Amino acid sequence: MTSVRSLVYDVTWQELRVGTLSENRSDGGWTTIDGAHANLKSLRIYLSTLRTETFSEFRMQLTPNEVMAARHYRVINMLNATRMGYSGQKLQGSEQDELVRKFRNRVQNAVQVILSDYDAALVSAASKWDWESVELELKWLLNHNPNCFDRIKVSVNKRAGVATKRGRVINQTRKELVTFCDLIRKVEG
């Protein structure tokens, strides 16, 4: 069975995720108050457009509840990672950290209220995960927005490198990340 962690490798989500990073934003991304506000606005929009499926969500035939669960999972995962980054940068407790913490808590609470079967919907979405759909979407992105494709490639390769440097056996601990990196290399040919 496919791990729920696969859900973060939706290409549309990766486009949004790398777009929030400081190196891709003139306002500093998560590292500044203005950037954090702008990023949280983007996440609000992402969560509020549940009726608009991504290519992969459509191709994998995810139900509305599965789409909702997957999107909330992605956002919560990103916000947790952002807060860990703040901790590493000695920004824990900063104004932007508090913004992210409060937003994450609201998202977690909201999804539990809105979707009583959140965990089951996540597992169901993961069971429909199709890496071929991801590959097709990566091909489309490379042909239509190569700059975005490159930003995603650089970001995930950096993440893979960090995991390897920390002594993790990446093929065992981050299988989904490895699969996504492999697909990027395959698509580039």
Q: What is the 3-state secondary structure (H, E, C) of 76-110?
A: HHHHHHHHHHHHHCCCCCCHHHHHHHHHHHHHHHH
Residues in contact with 44: Cβ distance below 8 Å, sequence separation at least 6, in sequence order: none
Q: What is the Cα–Cα distance from 161 to 177, expressed in whole angstroms?
A: 11
> How far is residue 87's CA from residue 68's CA, in Å, rounded to a whole number?
29
Q: At 19, which helix (H) or strand (E)?
A: helix 11-19
**Whether pLDDT at 73 is above 60:** yes
Query: Which residue range(s) make up the domain with 125?
Result: 4-188
* Amino acid 41: pLDDT: 97
pTM beyond 0.85: the answer is: yes
Sequence-distant (6+) residues with CB within 8 A of 118 are 69, 72, 111, 112
Q: If 0-12 CB within 10 Å is exposed, 13-18 middle and 19+ buried, where does residue 54 land?
A: buried
pLDDT in tens, 120-145: 999 999 999 999 999 999 999 999 99
Mean pLDDT of the chain: 91
pLDDT band at 56 (very low <50, low <70, confident <90, very high): confident
Predicted pLDDT of residue 188? 94
Number of domains in the chain: 1
